[in-house]
Amino acid sequence: MRWTPRVCPSIRLSRARSCSFDAEYAAIPGEGIASLACAAVTPACEEVEPERWDAALRAAGVTDVYYSRGFVAASAALAGAEPVLLRHDGVFFACLLRGDPVDVVTPYGYGGPVGEPRDKFAAAYEAWCARRGVISSFAVFHPLLRNAGPPFRCTPLAGTVAWDLTADGLLERMHKHHRRLVRRAQRAGYDVAVEQRPADLSDFVAIYERTMERQDAAPFYLFAPGYWEALARDVPLVRVDVRDDGAPIASVLGMGEPPWLHYHLGAAADAARGTGASHRALYELALWGREHGFTTLHLGGGVGGRADSLLEYKLRFAPDGLIGSAIGKAVHDEAAYLRLSGQDAIDWDGFFPAYRVSRPA
């Protein structure tokens, strides 16, 4: 059995390869770019003013943190981009507008158009891209929203993990290996601390950066101080620490508002190896989420959306929680795209957009 995620009742919905914005990818496969024939006569998407961003989303019933002004603006700094919220009829698209050359990516994590009706959104988006001079778009669709579709050419990935918090026996339903490690950490007598909207992330950042260095992570994942400051200031975070003698040895950051809680980042000290502290931190986040009205803890997927050890690690918390994921690509100015990339034809299977690939000096 594969668990089907509960669609947020307040949201009115319709449903890798390498890319230039590092993220965990996520949607359902489709293909083809929408016809541009009606783009000239279809009004372009409008840009929602920053001060009206969150209110406009809430009025439409969209409460997921990946669409919030706070998170999108925090992500914009990672991509050197401008945060933009587009609207056409009842459809919203939170995105990052990059310059030189001009293109669009979704924020770090997940995104894509949300709302209804979707039938005219593709043409309206193409019209906005033409007005803004956008060459290409890359979307990481939101796996819980199942929102893949035109104007993107969609490619399925390995999936992400959605942990159903409404089911009984969260611990008992885990893979036996994870269950054993959680119980080991419980027997060790570690303290657990949960903090909503933590004002200071400095000690988390210290452990996180050591974790990334130990894992030889890409430089992208060593975030600048401004990202951490924006997270703490503008994003509804919850931090869970597993502590030994008062010092955190494993910590996770969740974010969101009910019904969907998202696992964002995790870290563990060298002393946590083999103790089960990291497993217990995620388990305690799930317990906290259930107690505070969340129905789902979305754990995300593997690195780059692949079927790797990270995806397997997450799946062992919720063995029935695998859901579909995908990315989407679109080219709006083919001549400019080919000129900048030095290609004769668009390579839909390679690095996208090709003109941003890193080349040897």
Overall CATH class of domain 161-322: alpha beta
Q: What is the DSSP letter of 141?
A: B
Phi, psi angles (nearest 5°) of residue 133: 75, 30
Domain ranges in the chain?
Answer: 46-157+325-356, 161-322
Query: Would you call 203 helix, strand, or coil by DSSP?
Result: helix
- Provide the residue count of the chain: 361
What are the 10-residue block averages of pLDDT along the chain, 361 residues in total? 41 37 33 38 91 98 98 97 97 98 98 95 97 98 97 97 97 98 98 97 97 94 96 98 96 98 97 96 98 98 96 98 98 98 97 88 50
Beta-carbon count within 10 A of 120 CB: 15
Asked whether the beta carbons of 231 and 201 are under 8 A apart, the reply is: yes
- Residue whose entry in the numeric block shows the structure tokens 């050419």: 153
Q: What angle do CA 18, 221, 337 make, to 5 degrees?
A: 35
pTM for the model stands at: 0.88
- Residue whose entry in the numeric block shows the structure tokens 């950042």: 205
Chain segment 6-15, per-residue pLDDT in tens: 334 333 333 3
What's the pLDDT score for residue 358?
A: 80
Residue 96 to residue 81: CA distance in whole angstroms: 6
What's the pLDDT score for residue 239?
A: 98
Residue 214 to residue 220: CA distance in whole angstroms: 15
What is the dotted CATH code of the domain comprising 46-157+325-356?
Answer: 3.40.630
Chain segment 262-280, per-residue pLDDT in tens: 999 999 999 999 999 999 9
Residue 213 is inside which H or E element, if any? Answer: helix 202-214
Residue 130 to residue 288: CA distance in whole angstroms: 46
Asked whether the beta carbons of 138 and 19 are under 8 A apart, the reply is: yes
| Domain 161-322 in the same topology as domain 46-157+325-356 | yes
